[in-house]
Chain A
Amino acid sequence: MDIDKALKKYVPMTETAFYILLSLTEPRHGYGIVKHVNDITNSRIVLGSGTVYGTLTKMQKDGIITVFADEERKTVYEVTETGKKLITAEIKRIKELHQNALKYEGEFL
């Protein structure tokens, strides 16, 4: 899938998809992603393994991530170039969101 199609399909991302892709700063196992997301959100998000597996399979089909086998023949997930472009675009969108949130936050207090 080329980047334009990927952007159309994935942006805006669900919180689940965003955190799964964001945790691929380095190649990780499926359960490694669950643990990492748990850590960086201070246990606010506890991802179910079925949800993670489903999302990863879909992302792999769309060429956003790729896989290889490690020493124990376990599947490791890695972000592709398309995936990198996608998460960068999504981060840009969320930054705008964040800036506007800060800017107008006071009006509601």
Chain B
Amino acid sequence: MINKVMRPFWSYDVQKTEKWLTHMAEHGYLLVKINRVTRCFFFQKGEPKKLTYRIGFDKMQGESLSRGLIAEGWSKVLRTGNWFVTSNEKQLEQIKTSSVREGIIKHNRIIMYIFGGIVSYFTIMAVLFLFLFGLILFSKDSQGEVVDSPYWIFTSLYFGALIAIFILGLYSVIKIYRTNKKLIYEKVNRNDLYKKTLCTDKFSKAEEKQLKRSGQLIKKRKFGWMYAPDKLEQWLEKMEEQGYNLYHISKTGTTFQFLNGKPRKVSYCADYQNIADESYFDIHRDAGWKSVFASFGSLQKWSIWSREYSENDERPQIYSDKSNQLKHARKIATAYTCLFLPLIVVYMFNLGLGFELIHDNNPDPLRIFTIIVMFLAILSFGSYSIRTWMYYRRLKKRIDC
């Protein structure tokens, strides 16, 4: 006998879904199929079993599981699209290896960004609408009156659908945000050692103030280092050599604080990864690098790594392969060009239009002001793109000789 259960948001909280599957198996309902379109789970009634389930997401999964998982007793229950479900007869506490969570985190994060975009778009539109509506309603000479019409039903249906999408979007964003935090925490939980080592050398607020007053702690601002990361690395290394030890980088990555200390030889590496996962941080930490900065919450991700080395040693680098490093630089330049080029083109077009209008009419101050702003925007966006390509060229020259 086959039982069908609908679970529309199963993929938003996989931990909960896994527990639910275990619970179903205890009652003799064994998972056989998932339909992702109708969001339905199909169960076969059989003997009650103690099973541990684990859901995974992987674009490149082979037909069989990896040997490391099979050896631990895992077997694949089903596969649907990029999703797969594995089960194990052992208890969760006794299992050592399991499929990774990164795929789910990344996939759900993309969904979260899409819904986040929709929600913020709707919010802006709603605020604008209410504002205009209020303006008309409260203006003295408003003549508006509601006309009876059978077509009002479409208007209300339309708004009902909008509200439904808005609520769905908001729910998705909140739910995924919470689950992803839990999934990442699942891992961090076990090696919170790293976090402690990061926090030990941080002063309290009062101490910081004291240090600032005595001139021991200096603040420097640096904008736009993303367009020339090699310059930032050199600057930080020079500061260390002069005895200014990097103490803290603000969350936005624009304020750098230094402590007046001993001259040190420290290698700094700024790295750009489109969407970095936890294993990225693991490998660098294991190799002896300290994470001094990581930008969170956006699709693009910059991180800065530091590592002290002795006078006689060669400067350690996170990229040992030169062609690899060059590819990385090209990735940065391409990414920023793709970001700025459309804006530049649009502004240029507007600017051309603006000039034509000035030619025809008398120039009014507001128009001139807009033109100047657009001109400055083109100039700065253009300079950012050019700076990234100059960075690429510098690196290429250094590697070639």
CA distance A30 to B287 in the complex (A): 9
Q: Is the CB of A49 within 8 A of B284?
A: yes
Is A105 interfacial (CB 8 A cutoff)? Answer: no
CA distance A27 to B271 in the complex (A): 27
Task: Report 9 cross-chain contacts, Cβ distance below 8 Å, ordered by A residue.
Answer: A34-B287, A49-B287, A49-B318, A50-B271, A51-B319, A60-B60, A61-B59, A66-B61, A73-B187
Number of chain B residues whose Cβ lies closer than 8 Å to a Cβ of chain A: 43
A51-B97 in contact given A31-B286, A72-B190, A74-B279 (Cβ < 8 Å): no
Interface residues on A, range: 35 or more
Residues of A within 8 A of B328 (CB): 50, 54
A52-B283 in contact given A62-B60, A68-B69 (Cβ < 8 Å): yes
A69-B97 in contact given A31-B286, A34-B287 (Cβ < 8 Å): yes
Q: Is the CB of B318 within 8 A of A69?
A: no
Residues of B within 8 A of A1 (CB): 60
Is B62 interfacial (CB 8 A cutoff)? Answer: yes
- Minimal Cβ-Cβ distance residue in B for A81: B62
Enumerate chain B interface residues (CB-CB to A < 8 A): 58-62, 66-69, 96-102, 186-187, 189-191, 269, 271, 278-280, 282-284, 286-287, 289, 316-321, 323-325, 327-328
Instruction: Report A5 CB to chain B, min CB distance, Å.
Output: 12
Enumerate chain A interface residues (CB-CB to B < 8 A): 1, 14, 16, 27, 29-31, 34, 45-55, 60-63, 66-76, 78, 80-82
CA distance A73 to B97 in the complex (A): 8
Instruction: Report A61 CB to chain B, min CB distance, Å.
Output: 6
CA distance A80 to B64 in the complex (A): 10
CA distance A82 to B64 in the complex (A): 12
Instruction: Report B281 CB to chain A, min CB distance, Å.
Output: 10
A47-B97 in contact given A63-B62, A66-B66, A68-B66 (Cβ < 8 Å): no
Residues of A within 8 A of B289 (CB): 49
